[in-house]
Amino acid sequence: MAAFAIAVAAVAAICGCRVNRPRNDHAATQTLYDSMVSDPGTFNPVLITDSASAVAIGDMFESLTRVNPRTTLFEPGLARSWEFSDGDQTLTFHLRHDVKWSDGAPFTARDVLFTMRVIYDPKIPNSMVSAMMIDGKPIAASAPDDYTVVVRMPRPFAPILSSMQFAILPAHVLAGAYEAGRFNRTWGIDTPPDRLIGLGAFLMTRYVPAQLIAYRRNSDYWMRDEQGAPLPRLKGEVHLIVPDQNAQYLQFQSGMTDVYHPRPEEVWPLEQAAKRLNITVAKVGIDTGSLFFAFNRNPRHYVHDGVADPRYQWFTDVNFMRALAHAVDKQGMIDLCYRGLAVPAVSDVSPENKIYHNPNLKDYGYNLELAAQILDRAGYRMIRPGVRGDPEGRPLVFRLTTNTGVPVRDQMCAIFKQDLQKLGITVNYRPLDFITLVKALDLSFDWDCVLIGFTGAIEPNDASDFLRSSGNLHIWDPAQPKPATPWEAQIDHLMDEGTMVVDPYKRARYYWQIQQILHDQLPMIETVRAVTYVAYRNSLENYYPTVWGLYHPEWIEFRAR
Amino acid sequence: MNAPAATFRAENRAVAERRGWTAAVGREWRAAALTVKLSAILLLAFYVFAAASPLVAPYDPAQQWRTMPDCPPMRLHPAPPSEWSHGFLYAYPMRLDNPIARHYAEDRSRRTFVRLFYRGHLFTTAPDAPPFFLMGSENLGRDLFSRIVYGARVSMCIGLVGVAISFSLGIMVGAFSGLMGGFADSAIMRLCEIEMSLPSFYFLLALAAVIPSGLSTTATFFLIVAIMAFISWAGFARVIRGMAASVRSAPYVEAARALGGSRRRLLFRHIIPAVIGFAAVNASLSIPGYILGESALSLLGLGIQEPAASWGNLLSQAMDPQTIAYFPWILIPGLFISAAVMAFNFLGDHLRDRFDPSNAA
């Protein structure tokens, strides 16, 4: 009843918005409004663990290098150039001379060294340190002068440019707090915005919890456009904090925000309304992450008192897994769950990762008859109508889970379950709330099959915690003391080899091979990748979204009327 | 006394009794307001749905037509007499002509005949023919009407089972407490109050979250009912206890006690019969709470799990205003919930008016 009332109210809200749409002054004030789903957890760039915080301070801080989202290659940032020497074991950054912190102090090599010291401090928990370890040892850095940073590696380490992509902290502001052991409590969300000293394109002016974060243009920003005019062109930015995506959608329609990332079912209505709302709906690209069914092959879950649960044998039997791979109706998932706005995923690396994605993998096509044949041949035969058994005659039953509250995942699980039912395999599906699910995956290992997604990165070594057998995110059997299978050992080896070659195009073949191994051994079955869209006001100029972020965001502006 | 006469008299008595029973129901029926009559008919229909789902539903509720998600309800047309051999009614199959918009068009070149009493269903289509969606299909291309019919099993039974549990628990504890008086009474009632002071919906959420995975749908269903009953018995027990305490000092109970009636005898022969009429009325009024509770849990994904249907989890698709705007038929399960809740309330009110002793004067 309550749900019904909410539903009616929501319909009324949609209709209401169509009738009176307030005029906004975003173009007149050159202020870009968009929305974010939750409040930030911290304003301290080193302590960030959540995406909302990353969005909140993303435009205030910068790193030595930046990635061109169109080419996925590195470009100069706070460092105007860099060079490798000494057999790729030394990397020298030459910093820009014209960069100033927002309090007027110059940006120097001291800031870079201070930030590295903070990240490597064991008392300061942060997510960056794992990417900055080479064979378990920190990277040594020194500053021969104020505008040069020299990084020495014990061996050639290809991901170094990606590792050095941390946001630089102002040493003159934070060193005192760090020396006093108060770093973990600095720059929390209760810090007055004018005390957050940044050097990015925008500076925070106001944070109202649960409502908005506002920014103004950094007039001392170092970038200039082709004519030498200062950047960024926008005078301000506002992130509205709107936890409910339906509300975000309505706000975009009513003109309160200028940019919106629609869900698949919203793309069509927005395209239809594009003219009336004066917006553009553009395809951004293919999701950079990976969404897959993982199967637990952790002996700690299955083997008790020397007796192995049969599921352990099934999930480690490559024939069983191949049959299941042929039972995933990817096209059905695309049509039903994504309105056709998705593509089948074959590799665990997105095709948007242009260099490291292996395009030669051949997908397991949806074919239930073939799946049944493979099962029959491998000894998994029907033991009674509608029930298939393993070679020892035990019925095939396992549990499937995912996190609650994501309708698309629910539907994908329902489709998979239905197809396995046709093969005679019983799946007990029950979604778990996110915390419970993470505990099952990380601590109790009490799960059989899970539909789960990982985000993707350009640097392939960033996935090392997932790919290496010793990794904590090696989801099917995490933190192995030594590789459980020969192919996992081979992946570990390829991960080592892949970091030794600096040229990305020469590196790629190691990662292509890893994708091939995962595709053949099937510890997890890839599903689909959404094709993402963005909708934005036609009055925005130079708005070039890509799946890896905005291209040249400093050039964005509202067209003068 | 000769045998035939005795037989005759016995038969006569049976006929008279039957007449008495039917006559009483008839009398009640004529005295009832129209809303009460409609409610009774509606509830009867829903329970027929639940009891005979495989017969009433045209399709297997889990069958997915993956090329027909969110298909609108189809219209029925009477077939001309020349085609009665195929069926008396037909519909035009729907074709998905824009998968992104999920826009359908009737395919006028073909017909799908809807056959009555065919293949063990009240009505259905031939197995190789395109499906007929009376109330449309939901987002996985499953027939919404079939799912509503099967969903009635959960949604209509959850109230009865739940009330049966909380009713028996509440009546036993309440009557016992009222009869005993003194310290036992205070202790039991304070426990009830503690239980009642728990924020019930959050308590329900917490309990539902710890249901182990891997349980069958039926087991999950009974666990959810048990959880909901466990939350609601205390309030019930308190009311019964109050009635029992007042009955305890009534002259006939005093008399029974003075004559040496045991505590058990007092409880089962005097106290419980005195409160059971009120309890029955109260129970019928608390059934809607269970239906709504289940739908709230299912809406949050903690109730009956896919692919099993309940009216609550069918409605969970309607949480998104987008979806309602484009596929309004997915609100139909909500109409069923409202109808059932309203019917139980009308019927319960009517029963209270008729049987509550405080209204007798």
Phi/psi of residue B45, nearest 5 degrees: -60, -45
**Backbone torsions φ then ψ of A277, nearest 5 degrees:** -85, -5
Are A154 and A136 in contact, with CB atoms under 8 Å apart?
A: no
Q: Provide the shortest C-alpha distance from residue B45 to chain A (in Å).
A: 21
The residue-averaged pLDDT of B231-236 equals 84
Share of chain A above pLDDT 90, in %: 76
Nearest to A260 by CA among A17, A538, A535, A550: A535
Indicate whether B277 pLDDT > 90.
no
Asked whether the beta carbons of A95 and A107 are under 8 A apart, the reply is yes
Query: How far apart, in Å, are the Cα atoms of A275 and each of A271, A281, A557?
Result: 8, 10, 21
Contact A204, A191 (CB under 8 A): no
**Of B100, B101, B213, Cβ closest to residue A401:** B213
For the cut 70, the answer to whether the pLDDT of residue B14 exceeds it is no
Residue from the list B140, B305, B324 with its beta carbon closest to the beta carbon of A11: B324
Read off the amino acid at residue A92: T
Closest residue in B to A430 (Cα–Cα): B213
Range of A72's domain?
A: 65-176
Residue A19 pLDDT class (50, 70, 90 cuts): very low
pLDDT band at residue A194 using 50, 70 and 90 as cut-offs = very high
| Beta carbons within 10 angstroms of residue A137's beta carbon | 9
Q: What's the mean pLDDT in A31-38?
A: 93
CA-wise closest residue to A466 among A403, A529, A514: A514
Write down the architecture of domain B144-359 according to CATH. Orthogonal Bundle (1.10)
Six token digits for residue A339: 């309105």
Q: Which residue of B has its CA nearest to A440?
A: B213
The reply to whether residue A332 touches residue B325, judged by beta carbons under 8 angstroms, is no
Q: Is the pLDDT of residue B1 over 60?
A: no
Last residue of one domain, picked from the residues A176, A192, A218? A176
Residue type, B346: F
Percent of chain A topping pLDDT 70: 96
Average pLDDT (B2-20) is 61
pLDDT for A391 equals 93
Q: Is A192 inside a domain boundary?
A: no
Distance of alpha carbon B254 from its chain centroid, rounded? 41
> Band of the pLDDT at B317, cuts 50, 70, 90?
confident
pLDDT of residue A135 exceeding 90, the answer is: no
Task: Convert A130-194 into a string of H (helix), E (strand) and C (coil).
Answer: HHHEECCEECEEEEEECCEEEEECCCCCCCHHHHCCCCCCCHHHHHHHHHCCCHHHCCCCCCCHH
Minimal Cα distance from A404: which residue of B? B301
**Is it the case that residue A44 has pLDDT exceeding 90?**
yes
How far lies B236's CA from each of A431, B231, B282, B354, in Å?
A: 34, 10, 8, 20
Question: What pLDDT was estimated at residue A450?
Answer: 96
Q: In which order are the strands placed within the sheet that holds A236-241?
A: A31-36, A236-241, A212-217, A202-208
C-alpha closest to that of A210 among A40, A434, A7, A32: A40
For A407-434, the pLDDT digits (tens) are 899 899 999 999 999 999 999 888 888 8
CATH number at residue A72: 3.90.76.10
Question: Burial, B90: exposed, middle or buried (Cβ in 10 Å; 0-12, 13-18, 19+)?
Answer: buried
CA distance A11 to A3: 12
Q: What single-letter DSSP state applies at residue A260?
A: E
Enumerate the domain spans of chain B: 77-124, 144-359
Categorize the per-residue pLDDT at B45 as very low, low, confident or very high, splitting at 50, 70 and 90.
very high
Contacts of B62 in chain A (CB under 8 A): 418, 421
pLDDT of residue A368: 96
**Given an 8 Å threshold on Cβ–Cβ distance, is B322 in contact with A268?**
no
| pLDDT for residue A136 is more than 80 | yes
What single-letter DSSP state applies at residue B69? T
Residue A501 lies in a domain: yes
Three-state SS at A233 = coil
Measured distance CA(B253)–CA(A230) in Å, rounded:
95
Which runs of consecutive H residues, i.e. helices, occur in A280-433?
299-302, 310-315, 318-325, 330-337, 368-377, 407-423
Q: Which of A475, A408, A470, A465 is nearest to A438 (CA)?
A: A475
Q: What is the pLDDT of residue A18?
A: 47
- Boundary (domain end) residue, out of A161, A176, A191: A176
Q: Checking DSSP bridges between strand A307-308 and strand B94-98, what pairing results, if any?
A: unpaired
The pLDDT tens digits of the residues spanning A434-458 come to 888 888 998 889 999 999 999 889 9
Among the ranges given (A19-23, A96-100, B169-173, B217-221), the one the predictor scored with the smallest mean pLDDT: A19-23
Interface test with A, best of B287, B298, B322 (most A CBs within 10 A): B322
Q: Do A430 and B213 touch (CB under 8 A)?
A: yes
Mean pLDDT over A20-36 rounds to 80
Q: Which residues of B29-65 are buried (b: 16+ CB within 10 A; e: fewer)?
A: eeebeeebebbbebbeebeebbeebeebbbbebbebb
Distance (Å) from the alpha carbon of B192 to chain A's nearest alpha carbon = 28
**pLDDT at position A5:** 47
Question: In angstroms, what separates the C-alpha of B325 from chain A's closest C-alpha?
Answer: 7
Evaluate if residue A284 carries a pLDDT over 70. Answer: yes
What average pLDDT does chain B have?
84
Give me the numbers of helices (H) and strands (E) for chain A, helices first please: 18, 29
Please tell me the predicted confidence (pLDDT) of residue A561.
59
| Least confidently predicted of A18-27, B266-275, B336-345 | A18-27
- Quick one: A169 and A295 in the same domain? no
Domain for residue A108, yes or no? yes
pLDDT of residue B2: 54
Q: What is the pLDDT of residue B356?
A: 62
- In this prediction, residues A254-261 reach a mean pLDDT of 93
Distance (Å, whole) CA A428 – CA A543: 46
Put simply, the answer to whether A399 touches B66 (Cβ < 8 Å) is no
Report how many domains make up chain A.
2
CA atoms of B329 and A258, how far apart (whole Å): 32
pLDDT for residue B19 is more than 70:
no
**Are the C-beta atoms of A235 and A11 separated by less than 8 Å?**
no
Tell me: pLDDT of A460 over 80. Answer: yes
A384 located within any domain: yes
Which of A111, A144, A176 is where one domain is finished?
Answer: A176
From the list A413, A398, A502, A425, the residue with the least C-alpha distance to A451 is A413
Q: Average pLDDT of chain A?
A: 91
C-alpha distance from B147 to closest chain A C-alpha (Å)? 14
Report the distance separating Cα A141 and Cα A476, nearest Å: 37
Residue B189 φ then ψ, to 5°: -65, -35
* B307:A329 CB<8 A: no
* Closest Cβ opposite residue A414 in set B100, B214, B307: B307
Q: Is the pLDDT of residue A366 over 60?
A: yes
Identify the CATH number of the domain in which residue A340 sits. Answer: 3.10.105.10
pLDDT attached to residue B229? 84
Confidence of residue B360 (pLDDT cuts 50, 70, 90): very low
Query: Residue B298 has what pLDDT?
Result: 78
Judged by average pLDDT, the poorest of B9-13, B116-120, B279-283, B300-304 is B9-13
Tell me what pLDDT residue B118 has: 86
Taking a C-beta distance cutoff of 8 angstroms, is the pair A174, A114 a contact?
yes
The answer to whether the CB of B59 falls within 8 A of the CB of B131 is yes
Per-residue pLDDT reduced to its tens digit, B110-155: 888 988 888 888 888 888 888 999 999 988 899 999 999 999 988 8
Q: Residue A426: which H helix or E strand, with range?
A: strand A426-429
